[in-house]
Structure 1
């Protein structure tokens, strides 16, 4: 390794080898000439693979007529006219997301109602809405708008509405028959989120009931199995017409039709590592730097599991970029750069993109790359299919994804880094060939590639279903077991969700309680909704709005690999000292509130965050969420006087007590009891022995409180420690007072 940290591989033939030729749906692969050792970013000469049916990107320079979908326009409109359900198979970049709503608008469907297009992710809903509005010469919020969690940019004039699947699902509570919509487009259906699966079931119920014969449903995806979805709608009484074959009901409303959209194919060479990479972040940094200095111009897209990995890699690359620039300008005889590295003149622009990143920063990845610059986009799986990035010629794939798995028996949630599926790996590699021939570098072996699962497990089989059950009851569905799920949830998952809602007071033997109805109208998990509603009783509504908004954001604190690896020792010490001064000794919820309150008071908000290890953008987002939650409470409960329900300012002892009491009442199911002489706790739900997460302020205390409530209960891997995170001390007597059916005075004092 160079002292600069710009390590080269031992030998190209040892560092990378290229995958053998494969065949795919596109009718076979073409063999491309292998790159030379010096120009391959450590790839050996072997066979190359073309990702089948890879279309070029739907970029701003393409008009609708130039996209692959254009030749299918008439066929799509005819299929929609003659069939109630249309399944549209088309690769990412073929233009289906932007062009289908435009085709339907020009065909008159917006005169019959609103066209809704769902997206699994908010960034996709927002960016595509802007793109379609631009094509239709409209302002976002007029003809074209978007609706995502905590943000609704629509008006009475909006006829094309891009929305997250979760938003449309909540909208269904008010309008169970989707009566305001003429067309429902369920995009990226292969991602199989909870909300998308629920929408599938609700649409199927609507078809079975025959209530909306004029409603049109379009299911769009790049990788879904059409036979599975055809069978699902067949059981609703509609007849699928595969490949144009006709059967009973052909040509009339109530049929299903599958339309396939061709793509523009460009060869993509796929390279694998000869051995598994233990540190994929470090391996990605090496690969990116070698591509940057040795390969022709073209942007690089790096797939990583989560925000922490993205921030870590961003810091590594920034450091290496600075060192490389210094050595180019001031060569060192003791550490000479290879000739190709010395002659390369491209600068590097690093653009992260992940769900929690503010939208104004996400758009940097979509802007044209400046002259004499190579853009390096660091992305989660959001960039697999939900969005199309122009200019990408190289893909670096960690082969990892973060997936949440919930165990209904124990109540343990595991957020695990897992291997991607084969379908996801092919989608990632294909990103290099959207506009021109490209290369994909997989940081895993070819043998590991062959052993990947075919598809990612649907979220319905691995998630906590409490919020979904609450929504189902709000729709009037009293028997969850009979709901037409595309895939059945885990055994016992629905029963556990019902039991939790009953304990919370949202359900009783007659169905939804008044509390349950109010909770179903809030776009937060039931316990967070309970916090907001209970806070008026305790006189801390303003403060609880802030806490719930902060809990609804991601990564408020910079407890990341980036800060640990790269922050200088002095600064790290200073930030740690500042954080301890800011922290409230009784717990993390209170510390969050103190930090947010202080941030609101200071003029230099960015500087304050840097000096206290806080993610400034998370607090900006929390402020927007807080405003939305306040507006929702006003609509839900009438004209709420916030000041009247907030008795004391932050910092007053009596207010801290009120906040902790409110937490105890709303989070009693998430209570845990200390197990002396250890520093472990036992959860009331599932009776699990757990550790307080090392990021909690409570770990600094010499003596831990006897009782705590927590926000998160998770495991970092199979067989690893169980943790509770975002933890605050409460009094056992409060639990007896607020949940006497669960706690007795003798038990809490024992």
Structure 2
């Protein structure tokens, strides 16, 4: 073991590897053997020290000694600064000096974390010794506010650890922004001459120019602290990351059968995700992962994140299976069988949409046409009937905008965030967010330049993608002989068409002042980013 450590370069800074033995004969015989294998004279690179016999020199890198010799060295050098690694051999004999040495080494490694201690034994209880040397006194106290804990941990790493960027995982944009704001406040307090910190957010709706900053090299004497969602778990690899902070939580999409809605819920990560996050550390050199949860909590995590088949709306899948001739979907052999109630919920949705009949069979032509469209059944129903409702031009725009994400760019904060909010108000409509998206696209059609999008805090790449999707939808309508007609700003026709397809998502204003879903009576709130958030509450919502 000592020779491997020597070859690995642990003694490159002039320090020694020390090995303690309970008996003098073991120390001398092992020193002779290692010296022979190293092809060196005993007392040069390899030496030993026992009572009344010191066979070491200035060039000694591997030193065998008895436990009593190590105790005497502690008297003159309490932190054992001459050693980089200490290996305690034959610990299972548990001599008096062995226990004293272990007790003192535990105190030393609290003060000098760079010292590595290896305990070697044939029969000793390894878990008992691991718990004895574990200096983490908070292992049984999981943190309450993991956002603050991420910030505190990042600052501790910055103060105590070597150079290297930090990557911290949180669940969503709000938590990322909060953590970045807290770190920016601390960054202002760092005095001149000390290493600075550069907090950076990373999430899906962040403008691409802001996202690219995490890949840039930090200025001189500055450490990057990147606060991210699970987008950095597998999708991207950020160079320079040495330390990872894992909050232990993630936002996942979950389908609620009672309300027939998809929700983003905060849930503990799976073991596979936790290990994937840990793998982000040390891509450039050996790294560390700080997990803000106990080992017992980790053992209770599920092995892997449940597949989407078990936590999503199955109506689109059922419609596709019906079109492929699978009539009895309840008995279909799935690799990961979904809950039966999810399958029944999908059938209950397809029936009022007119996609299946009383016998559960695919209707023609409506059901067959919906199955051909690469859209969710509720959106496909809107698109099919938009021709007869004389608003197909507007519906194609709205549905195309719903297929993309992050139409509005969201600056990190400050004056830019206020300007973005003011710019957004120019497109808002009292009829709701879908008409707002229609207004955005209509305005974009008359401009189609990047500078205009940047001025109005719109994502040009996203709008360009929406244009491409709408072009494909128009071709699909032509193929299905559905006329492309504009409602000529008669938004009531558009709202009626939307309601005909999205009626399962209807909610009403309860007398208690909150919204409740028609299905399941689940309490809902209007999102702060919605244009309806600050207006008088309407009685009904879709």
Same fold per superposition (TM over 0.5): yes
Q: Is the 8 A contact 1:584 1:590 kept in 2?
A: yes
Superposed displacement of residue 318, structure 1: 4.8
Which residue number corresponds to residue 585 of structure 1? 430
2:162 to 296, 306, 312: 296
Check 1:420–1:310 CA distance in 2 against 1; reply closer, same or farther (3 A cut).
same
Q: Does 1:280 align with 2:179?
A: no
Runs of 4+ aligned structure 1 residues displaced above 6 Å come to 33-40, 44-48, 269-274, 358-361, 367-371, 571-575, 639-642
1:660 to 490, 495, 518: 495
Check 1:523–1:294 CA distance in 2 against 1; reply closer, same or farther (3 A cut).
farther
Check 1:699–1:315 CA distance in 2 against 1; reply closer, same or farther (3 A cut).
closer
Which residue number corresponds to residue 252 of structure 2? 403
Aligned to 1:586, what secondary structure does the other structure show?
coil
Q: Does 1:645 align with 2:496?
A: no
Aligned to 1:406, what secondary structure does the other structure show?
strand
Once residues 315 and 599 of structure 1 are traced to their aligned partners in structure 2, the CA distance between those partners, rounded to angstroms, is 33
Once residues 428 and 271 of structure 1 are traced to their aligned partners in structure 2, the CA distance between those partners, rounded to angstroms, is 24
Which residue number corresponds to residue 77 of structure 1? none
Q: Is the 8 A contact 1:272 1:443 kept in 2?
A: no
Once residues 705 and 500 of structure 1 are traced to their aligned partners in structure 2, the CA distance between those partners, rounded to angstroms, is 25
Check 1:537–1:34 CA distance in 2 against 1; reply closer, same or farther (3 A cut).
farther
Aligned to 2:439, what secondary structure does the other structure show?
helix
Once residues 450 and 501 of structure 1 are traced to their aligned partners in structure 2, the CA distance between those partners, rounded to angstroms, is 41
Calculate the TM-score normalised by the size of structure 1.
0.48
Which residue number corresponds to residue 605 of structure 1? 453
- Once the two structures are superposed, residues 570-611 of structure 1 have per-residue CA deviations (whole angstroms, 9 ceiling, x without a partner) of x877766665564322322223323444455565322322xx
Aligned to 2:387, what secondary structure does the other structure show?
helix
Once residues 557 and 271 of structure 1 are traced to their aligned partners in structure 2, the CA distance between those partners, rounded to angstroms, is 46
Superposed displacement of residue 557, structure 1: 5.7
Aligned to 1:537, what secondary structure does the other structure show?
coil
- Larger RCO, structures 1/2 (Cα 8 Å, 6+ apart): 1
Q: Is the 8 A contact 1:276 1:443 kept in 2?
A: yes
Superposed displacement of residue 280, structure 1: 2.5
1:381 to 227, 230, 243: 230
Count matched residues: 416
Q: Is the 8 A contact 1:270 1:442 kept in 2?
A: no
Q: Does 1:473 align with 2:322?
A: yes
1:425 to 254, 266, 274: 274
1:443 to 289, 292, 295: 292
Which residue number corresponds to residue 263 of structure 2? 414
Aligned to 2:456, what secondary structure does the other structure show?
helix
Check 1:411–1:297 CA distance in 2 against 1; reply closer, same or farther (3 A cut).
same
Superposed displacement of residue 371, structure 1: 6.8
Which residue number corresponds to residue 350 of structure 1? 200
Instruction: Return the index of the structure with the highest Cα Rg.
Output: 2
Which residue number corresponds to residue 707 of structure 1? 540
Q: Is there any run of 5+ residues in structure 1 with no aligned partner, and where? A: 1-32, 49-268, 329-341, 610-615, 710-750
Check 1:630–1:581 CA distance in 2 against 1; reply closer, same or farther (3 A cut).
closer
Once residues 107 and 492 of structure 2 are traced to their aligned partners in structure 1, the CA distance between those partners, rounded to angstroms, is 68
Once residues 270 and 487 of structure 1 are traced to their aligned partners in structure 2, the CA distance between those partners, rounded to angstroms, is 40
Q: How large is the Cα RMSD of the aligned pairs?
A: 4.1
Once residues 262 and 250 of structure 2 are traced to their aligned partners in structure 1, the CA distance between those partners, rounded to angstroms, is 16
- Once the two structures are superposed, residues 77-136 of structure 1 have per-residue CA deviations (whole angstroms, 9 ceiling, x without a partner) of xxxxxxxxxxxxxxxxxxxxxxxxxxxxxxxxxxxxxxxxxxxxxxxxxxxxxxxxxxxx
Once residues 585 and 35 of structure 1 are traced to their aligned partners in structure 2, the CA distance between those partners, rounded to angstroms, is 68
Calculate the TM-score normalised by the size of structure 2.
0.64
Once residues 304 and 287 of structure 1 are traced to their aligned partners in structure 2, the CA distance between those partners, rounded to angstroms, is 13
Which residue number corresponds to residue 519 of structure 2? 685
Q: Is there any run of 5+ residues in structure 2 with no aligned partner, and where? A: 1-105, 119-134
Once residues 434 and 504 of structure 2 are traced to their aligned partners in structure 1, the CA distance between those partners, rounded to angstroms, is 17
Check 1:573–1:285 CA distance in 2 against 1; reply closer, same or farther (3 A cut).
same
Check 1:480–1:285 CA distance in 2 against 1; reply closer, same or farther (3 A cut).
same
Q: Is the 8 A contact 1:406 1:413 kept in 2?
A: yes
Once residues 347 and 647 of structure 1 are traced to their aligned partners in structure 2, the CA distance between those partners, rounded to angstroms, is 54
Once residues 141 and 445 of structure 2 are traced to their aligned partners in structure 1, the CA distance between those partners, rounded to angstroms, is 50
Once residues 35 and 598 of structure 1 are traced to their aligned partners in structure 2, the CA distance between those partners, rounded to angstroms, is 68
Check 1:310–1:470 CA distance in 2 against 1; reply closer, same or farther (3 A cut).
farther
Which residue number corresponds to residue 31 of structure 2? none
Check 1:529–1:639 CA distance in 2 against 1; reply closer, same or farther (3 A cut).
closer
Superposed displacement of residue 402, structure 1: 0.7
Q: Is the 8 A contact 2:255 2:313 kept in 1?
A: yes
Q: Is the 8 A contact 1:300 1:392 kept in 2?
A: yes
Superposed displacement of residue 482, structure 1: 2.6
Superposed displacement of residue 688, structure 1: 4.3
Check 1:659–1:46 CA distance in 2 against 1; reply closer, same or farther (3 A cut).
farther
Which residue number corresponds to residue 388 of structure 2? 537
Check 1:380–1:512 CA distance in 2 against 1; reply closer, same or farther (3 A cut).
farther
Which residue number corresponds to residue 670 of structure 1? 505
Q: Is the 8 A contact 1:303 1:397 kept in 2?
A: yes
